[in-house]
């Protein structure tokens, strides 16, 4: 069996998805918290399930690719993406969902090679606000709030 970059990434994402899905069944998450009868992991479980299915598709696609050869620049960029993602997860608990997500949406695209500033700024401004509004105001699932601002 050939090990391609896509297979490796897909396997890593599948493992993370499985771990996080398993973690959502911890007793602390088994409450509704004013979430219209749904607990705080209702929507994340759906997203994690989709992530698991897509990671398996990436692994299958990787079987058709050439064997893995990672250049040092790519390895450094991959490490930076992992570090920024870990910092984002930590920042959500410290700075809240909205601020952390805006910062993450500004930092990640250039690391992945996308450098058009206008679309990056538009996505960083609109997407986190839309997700926050949907969860907080429509579905009534509370996201981690900022310790510095009362409204979000």
Q: Look up the pTM and report it.
A: 0.64
pLDDT of residue 38: 67
CB-based contacts of 17-22 (< 8 A; 24+ apart in sequence): 17/48, 17/49, 17/51, 17/52, 17/55, 18/52, 20/44, 20/48, 21/45, 21/48, 21/49, 21/52
Instruction: Name the residue ranges covered by the structural domains of the chain.
Output: 1-69, 71-152
Q: Tens digits of per-residue pLDDT, 111-143?
A: 999 999 999 999 999 999 999 999 888 888 888
Backbone φ, ψ for residue 143 (5° rounding): -100, 160
């Amino acid at each position: 069996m050939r090990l391609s970059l896509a297979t490796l990434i897909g396997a890593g994402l599948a493992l993370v998805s499985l771990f996080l899905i398993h973690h959502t069944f911890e007793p602390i998450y088994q409450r509704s918290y004013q979430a219209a009868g749904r607990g705080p992991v209702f929507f994340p479980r759906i997203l994690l399930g989709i992530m698991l299915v897509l990671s398996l598709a990436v692994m299958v696609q990787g079987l058709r690719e050439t064997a893995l050869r990672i250049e040092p620049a790519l390895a450094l960029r991959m490490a930076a993406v992992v570090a920024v993602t870990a910092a984002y997860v930590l920042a959500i608990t410290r700075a809240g969902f909205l601020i952390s997500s805006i910062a993450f949406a500004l930092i990640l695209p250039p690391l992945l090679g996308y450098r058009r500033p206008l679309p990056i700024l538009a996505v960083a401004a609109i997407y986190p606000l839309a997700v926050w509004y949907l969860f907080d105001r429509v579905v009534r699932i509370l996201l981690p709030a900022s310790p510095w601002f009362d409204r979000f």
